[in-house]
Amino acid sequence: MDEQARASGDAGKPIVVANAAAPAAHAFLAIAETLEQRVRELPKTNAAPRVFTADPLLPIVE
């Protein structure tokens, strides 16, 4: 995985790891890589797009 990861929740802005050799950077990248792999392994049978919002007053669209 690259030292930059795209966060779609933040308007696609890259997350830049300041010091890629730091233990925290390695932990972050390992977690991001694990999440990416698990999302790829999810079953594609129910692949309807879902929109989630942080605003509790807005409905969740499924």
pLDDT the model gives residue 5: 47
**Average pLDDT, consecutive stretches of 10 residues, N- to C-terminus, the chain (62 residues):** 47 61 81 85 68 60 54
Q: Could you tell me the residue ranges of all domains in the chain?
A: 1-62
CB crowding 20-41: b at 16 or more within 10 Å, else e:
eeeeeeeebbeebeeeeeeeee
Torsions phi, psi for 61 (to 5 deg) = -95, 125
Report pTM.
0.41
